Homo-oligomer: A and B are copies of this chain.
Amino acid sequence: MMTIGIIYGGTREGNTEMLAHYAVQELAAEKIYLRDYSIHSIVDQRHILGGFQNIGDDYNSIIDRILQHDILIFVTPIYWYSMSGTMKNFIDRWSQSLRDTNYSNFKASMSAKKAFVIAVGGDNPYVKGLPLIQQFQHIFDFMGMSFDGYVLGEGNKPGDIRQDEAAILAAQQLNNKLKAYEG
C-alpha cells in the first residue's frame, strides 16, 4: 500500500485547491499547506566554508513529513506562468537538503517517489502553463522521481474551476488512479 502526501502552494483556498479536491477525495492523503509554515528563501551557501547554515524555520519538518510518502502531489496556482513563490521557495531549499548530512538519504528517498502536479491558472493555462510542466519535469528528472501525471485547469474568480469540465474529469480520473495505488 502506498501513501500520499499533498503539498499545497497556494495562499488561499481557491480554484486550485477545489480542483485538487476532486483528485484526492476519499484518499487518506496527508495535506500540507505551505502557507501555514515559515519557509525562508534559500541562501546559496553551496560553495562557502561550512556549507549551508542551519535555518530555524519549518522547512525540515515538512521534508520529514513528505519523506514518509510514496506519492507526492504538488498543487499550485499558476502565478505569473509558474508555481507560486511560496512553492518555489520550498523547492529551492531542496538544494540545501541535498547537502545536509542529516538528510544523507534525501535524493535516494525522493527518487523512489511518484510525482503528480495539479495547477490552475487564469490566462490560457492549457498552453501558457506548459513551461511550468516542463520545469516540473526537469525537477523530477533531476531528483530521479517519476512524473506520473498532471492536471491543468482554468479559473480566475473563486469557483470558476467548476466550469472547467475537462479539468474536473481529468482530476476525477487521477482520483481513480490514486485510489488504485492506495490499494
Contact = CB atoms under 8 A, between A and B. Distances in A.
Interface of A: 10-12, 14, 35, 41-45, 47, 77, 79-86, 88-89, 91-92, 94-95, 123, 126-128, 130-135, 137-139, 142, 147, 149-150, 157-158, 165-166, 169-170, 173-174
11 contacts: A11-B42, A11-B43, A12-B43, A80-B91, A81-B135, A85-B85, A88-B88, A128-B138, A131-B131, A166-B170, A170-B170
Dominant secondary structure of chain A at its interface with chain B:
helix
Nearest to A84: B92
A112 to B, nearest CB: 19
B88 A80 contact: yes
Given A41-B89, A80-B94, A133 B139 contact: no
Nearest to A128: B138
